Every structure is written in C-alpha cells, then in structure tokens.
Structure 1
Amino acid sequence: MPSPREAIRERGWTIEHVPHEVIADYNACYRVVYEGKLIYPPAADVLGIPENEVWISEKWAKYDRFILYHELREIEHRAAGHDKTAAHERAERDERSLWLDDPRWRVMNAEWDEGRAHLPFPHERGDLSRRTAATAARSR
C-alpha cells in the first residue's frame, strides 16, 4: 500500500490543514467520493468541508501519517457499508494492529485531547493518565 498521503492524492482528494480552533471538536474530517459513493460523517456538514477534501487540525499535522491512515481506513469501512461509529472503531483497530508498538503513534494517542486515551497500550496499567503514557512512550 502506498503511504496514506499518496493514496489520498491518487484518489484526487486534497489534504487541508486547518486552524485547530476550526476543527477542535473533531481533529480530522473528510468529504470524499470513493468508489462512486459520496462518503462523509455529519461533522463534514458542520464544518462545511468541500467535496474531495480531508481536513486535519494544524495542531496534529506532525502526526499526518497516522491520522491520514485512520481517515482513509474509515472511508473504506464506510464504503463497505459500516456506519460512522463502526467504521471509526474498525479504523482504530486497523491502527492498533499496524502501529501498536510504534513509539510515535503511542505519543500521539497520549497527547490527544479527547477521544484517543481509550486506545490500549500493552503491558501498562489501564489506569495510566495520558501524560504518564506519553512520558512512558517517549522513554522507549
């Protein structure tokens, strides 16, 4: 598989980094035509995302590789007929299977404001705070 960035560009979609305050409630979102289907979550309407764009908060641009992979997998799961919640959960599962031991992915999850602290880290106590998890991930 090409890099997520390349896969998105090959599909004719653009990646836009937007000010965090614009997309803070979502961090990343999309509205794209994939295999002839227009696919987007309700947040795309709230944000006013144009067709064939993927938006990422500027705050998270340093983690584009992971975020774009997640968004691409979520789009693919939506196209396969899953609702937005199931597609999101499946995309997270895909991330975990690919990057669970990647220290940078672990740091991203630990730094995330909300919504990612639930992703499990093996061999660590489940009650670690995000800050503690980030420190532990950086030390590896």
Structure 2
Amino acid sequence: MASPREAIRERGWTVEHVPHEEIAKYNACYRVVLDGELIYPPAADDLGIPRNEIWVSEKWAKYDRFILYHELREIEHRAAGHDKATAHELAERDERSLWLDNPRWRVMNAEWDEGRAHLPFPGE
C-alpha cells in the first residue's frame, strides 16, 4: 500500500491540521467522496469539514502515519457498507495487525487523552 498521505493525495483529498481546541472531541475526522459516494461521520457536520478533506488535530500531527492510515481504513470500511462504529473498530483491528509491535504506535496510544486505552496489547 502507498503511504497514507500518498493514498490520500491520489484520491484528490487533502489533509488539514487544525487547532486541537477545534477538534479535541474527535482528534481526527473526514468528509470525502470515494467511488462516487460521500462518506463522513456526523462529527464532520459538527466541525464543518469541507468535501474531500481529512482533518487531524495539530496535537497529533507527529503521528500522521498512524492516524491517516486509521482514517483511510475507516473510510474504506464505510464504503464497504459498515456503519461508523463498526468501521472504526475494523480500522483499529487493521492498525493492531500492522503495528502491534511498533513502539511509536504504542507511544501514540499511551499519549492519547481518551478513546484508545481500550486497545489490547496481548502478552503484556
């Protein structure tokens, strides 16, 4: 797979880093068109995200690789017909299978304010 940023660029989407205070409740969000279908969670309406943009909190920009991968996988799972909650869970599953042993991914999860503490770390 191309890097998440390359995959986003190839689809004609952009990544915007926004002040954390603006997106703190969500940390990252999107409103994109994939295969002719507009895909976005309700939070995109709350935030006013324009079409074909993925927003990431400036606070988490140093972890773009992981966050953008998650958002891409979630979008793809939504396009496959899954609801927002299931798509999010499947994207987390995809992350775990790819980065479970990646120290930087683990540091990101440890630093996350809330919402990622539930990710299992088998064997620990």
TM category, shorter: over 0.9
Matched position secondary structure for 1:26: coil
Give 5+ residue unaligned stretches, structure 2. none
**Counterpart residue number, 2:88:** 88
**Counterpart residue number, 2:101:** 101
Matched position secondary structure for 1:56: strand
Q: What stretches of structure 1 move > 2 A for 4+ residues in a row?
A: none
Which protein has greater RCO, CA pairs closer than 8 Å, 6+ apart?
A: 2
Matched position secondary structure for 1:63: helix
**Counterparts of residues 5-20 of structure 1 (less than 5 Å):** 5-20=5-20
2:40 aligned with 1:40: yes
Aligned residues: 124
Kindly report the root-mean-square deviation, in angstroms, between the aligned alpha carbons of the 2 structures.
Answer: 0.4
Deviation at 1:37, TM superposition (A): 0.2
Deviation at 1:122, TM superposition (A): 2.2
* Amino acid in the other structure paired with 1:75: I
Which one has a bigger Cα radius of gyration?
1
**Counterparts of residues 12-31 of structure 1 (less than 5 Å):** 12-31=12-31
Matched position secondary structure for 1:46: helix
Q: What are the superposed Cα offsets for residues 4-50 of structure 1, whole Å, 9 maximum, x if unpaired?
A: 00000000000000000000000000000001100000000000000
Matched position secondary structure for 2:56: strand
Deviation at 1:115, TM superposition (A): 0.3
* Amino acid in the other structure paired with 2:67: I
Deviation at 1:123, TM superposition (A): 1.9
Matched position secondary structure for 1:121: coil
Deviation at 1:2, TM superposition (A): 0.3
* Amino acid in the other structure paired with 1:26: Y
- Quote the sequence identity (%): 87
**Counterpart residue number, 1:122:** 122
Question: TM-score, normalising length from structure 1?
Answer: 0.88
**Counterparts of residues 60-75 of structure 1 (less than 5 Å):** 60-75=60-75
Question: TM-score, normalising length from structure 2?
Answer: 0.99
Matched position secondary structure for 2:119: coil
Q: What are the superposed Cα offsets for residues 73-132 of structure 1, whole Å, 9 maximum, x if unpaired?
A: 0000000000000000000000000000000000000100010011011221xxxxxxxx
